[in-house]
Structure formats: structure tokens, C-alpha cells
Amino acid sequence: MNQKKEFKVTTIGASGVGKTSIINRFYFGTFNEMGSPTVGAAYVKCQVELPSGLVVLNLWDTAGQEKYANLVPVYMRDSNAVIVVFDLTQPNQMESVQGYINMIRDSLPPEVPIILAGNKADLASGNAGYDVHSWAMSNSIPSFSVSAKTGQGIDDLFHAVAEGSLQKLPVVTIANKKLAERRDREENPSGCC
């Protein structure tokens, strides 16, 4: 029997990293080169169909400008998961990411999953975000390289969040499963042997 569950997911990160673009790519399937900064917060409701049931993700998109920083914990309240978005084309993102993780840990219960999403993978060089992704792996925090422009990794990101929420599994378990499936597809593109 299919069940329907609803979860609040908040995206946070610096201004210009692509939080809105990631949500728009997932929700509308589009990318807007001329995106404008979010003021305060925005919200969309997405349905994700999984074999185990329908999941509704209430996606909250927070503003990244410094003048709205005090509002982010308010918008994160009651979140079931938080996605920290960072820019893969910018060096030294670890300090910024760590600041957002500290904000989450100061504002939400420890069991709320944190997921990292390095955006702009289409523009990044080969080792982009290596420091953040390796730190995340050593701290059991799932991380994804995504591109709001091309759609790379976007479905994997939100399906991992939805599946982890529905099954009450750590998102890192789901993320590792998705990564293994993606590697398998890349190594065996025809689906055989």
C-alpha cells in the first residue's frame, strides 16, 4: 500500500550559489540564466514518486544575502532536512559551508539530516569541491555535485532526500546507494555485463 508523507526541506547557502536555480530545475525542469536573488524566502511543494510511496517535499529557498542571515534559522524551524548549497567554481568554500553547518546544528535537533550540494558542476574543474566533499565523507554527511543548468545530479539529490525521509534512513545511506548506481551506469552504459 502506498503511503503519502510530507517533509519540510530547507536550502541554505551564500548568495549566488544557485539555491533557487536548483529548486527551479527540480520543480519546473528549467534553468534561468538571469535569476534574481531571493528576498527573505520562497516556497514550493514538490511530489516525488518512490516505489515505497509518494513523498511531498515542501522546499524552502532562503535568501543568501548577509542582511537576511538572521532570518535563516527562523525559516529552517521544523525542517526535516537541510541542504547546504555551495559553488563548485569558487575556491575555499569549506569555511562558508562549515558556518552554515554550525548554524544548522545551533538551530535544529541533531537528528535533522544535513546534505551538501556543490552546484555549477558544469563549470567546475575536475577536483572542484574536493576539500568539501572529502570533509563531508569523513563526517558522514552526504554530498552531491550538481548542475542546475544541465540538471546533472538534481534528481539524485532530491530523490535521496525524499527516500531517506520516507524510510527514516540516514540520507548518507541513500546518497551512497545513488552514487554507486550512477557509477555503475557510467561504467556500463548499455546496461549489460
Place of cell 546518497: 175
Domain annotation covers residue 8: yes
pLDDT value of residue 185: 59
Q: Residue 16: give the domain boundaries.
A: 3-187
Q: What kind and span of H or E run contains 26? A: helix 19-27
pLDDT of residue 41: 60
What's the mean pLDDT in 145-166? 90
Q: How far is Cα 6 from Cα 75, in angstroms, rounded to an integer? A: 17
85: amino acid identity, one letter: V
pLDDT band at 63 (very low <50, low <70, confident <90, very high): confident
Return the amino acid letter for 183. R
For position 25, what pLDDT does the model report?
94
Please tell me whether the overall predicted TM-score, pTM, comes out greater than 0.85 for this model.
no
pLDDT tens-digit series, residues 92-144: 889 999 999 999 999 999 889 899 999 999 998 877 778 888 888 888 888 99
Helix and strand element counts for the chain (H, E): 6, 6
* pLDDT tens-place string over residues 29-52: 998 876 655 555 678 999 998 887
At 112, list the grid cell.
Answer: 535533522
- Residue among 3, 46, 38, 39 at smallest CA distance from 157: 46
167, pLDDT greater than 80:
no
Q: Is 171 part of a structural domain of the chain?
A: yes
Q: What is the mean pLDDT of the chain?
A: 82
Question: 193 in a domain, yes or no?
Answer: no
| CATH number of domain containing 110 | 3.40.50.300
Q: Ranked by mean pLDDT, which of 36-50, 51-65, 175-189 comes out on top?
A: 51-65
Does residue 83 lie within any of the structural domains?
A: yes
Instruction: Kindly state whether residue 72 falls inside one of the protein's structural domains.
Output: yes
The predicted structure's pLDDT at residue 193? 44
Asked if residues 89 and 146 have their Cβ atoms less than 8 Å apart, the reply is no
Q: What domain count does the chain have?
A: 1
Q: What percentage of the chain exceeds 70 in pLDDT?
A: 76
